[in-house]
Copies of this chain bind each other. A is one copy, B any other.
Amino acid sequence: MLTLYDCATAPSPRRARILLAEKGVAYTAVNVDLRTGEQLTEAYRAINPLATVPALKLDESEGGVVLTDNAAIAAYVEARHPQPPLMGTTPAEKADIASWHWRCEFEGLMAIAEALRNSSPAMAHRALPGTANYEQIPALAERGLARLAVFFDTLEARLAGRDCVAGTGFSIADITAVVTVDFARVVRVKPGDQHVNLKRWRAEMARRPSMAM
């Protein structure tokens, strides 16, 4: 049985939860309390030295290895549980999904993280996740908000005439896009009246049980 080190309120572990649900993979969840800094404790760093969630501990039959980030978790789950494919089937479709998955992460999630972590009093000295402390940079918080607005418009344009973010059907790009759009609430951003296609797509995504995870 897999063990997922999880936190209900954070966006990164939500990506793993939705992925595992879409693949129908069972796991035991262990909550890591980010509010009290449990991820920075010696006990948790013995599990994941990066001091981040999610982490996924594999079965003893696979050496009990701990996957320490979403990149590892996605690659593992897609290879170990190929059905349904969430990273594409043809080379060109795999490319399209990888590209949009990357853009959702770099242009979307990272912009929110910049805006939140560089402005929230609760995250003083914690401008980046991980073991090292970094001071907040107010100008980076502002830039994050500007980039996030651009990303919402990018996603709106992309979804015109499309039911999914990339490829020919639901994929891991939709997962990261949903997590991004939903988590934008922490910096008071949500789809506006101009985001017609984005809202239509998000409403359609809500029909998938995994999205309640």
Which residues on A are within 8 Å of B, measured CB to CB? 58, 62-63, 65, 67-69, 71-76, 78-80, 87-88, 90-92, 94-99, 101-103, 127-128, 132, 134-135, 137, 139-140, 143, 146-147, 150
Q: Tell me which residues across on chain B come within 8 A of A90, comparing CB atoms.
A: 79
A-B contact pairs, 25 of them (CB 8 A): A58-B92, A63-B92, A67-B99, A69-B102, A69-B103, A71-B102, A72-B96, A72-B98, A72-B99, A72-B102, A73-B95, A74-B98, A75-B88, A75-B91, A75-B95, A75-B97, A76-B92, A78-B94, A79-B91, A79-B94, A79-B95, A134-B146, A134-B147, A137-B139, A137-B140
Shortest A13–chain B CB gap in Å is 16
Q: Tell me which residues across on chain B come within 8 A of A96, comparing CB atoms.
A: 72
| Contact indicator B140/A92 (Cβ below 8 Å) | no
Q: Which of B65, B139, B143 contacts A92 (CB 8 A)?
A: B65
**Chain copies in complex:** 2
Identify the interface centre among A69, A79, A103: most chain B CB within 10 Å of its CB: A79
Q: Tell me which residues across on chain B come within 8 A of A87, comparing CB atoms.
A: 75
Alpha-carbon separation in the docked complex, A75 to B89 (Å): 11
Give A50's nearest chain B residue, CB to CB.
B103
Q: Tell me which residues across on chain B come within 8 A of A147, comparing CB atoms.
A: 128, 134
Q: Tell me which residues across on chain B come within 8 A of A99, comparing CB atoms.
A: 67-69, 71-72, 75
Q: Tell me which residues across on chain B come within 8 A of A135, comparing CB atoms.
A: 139, 143
Give A67's nearest chain B residue, CB to CB.
B95
Alpha-carbon separation in the docked complex, A109 to B80 (Å): 29
| Contact indicator A101/B63 (Cβ below 8 Å) | no
Q: Tell me which residues across on chain B come within 8 A of A67, comparing CB atoms.
A: 95, 99
In the complex, besides A74-B98, A78-B94, A134-B147, 5 extra interface pairs with C-beta distance below 8 angstroms are: A71-B99, A75-B91, A75-B94, A132-B150, A135-B139
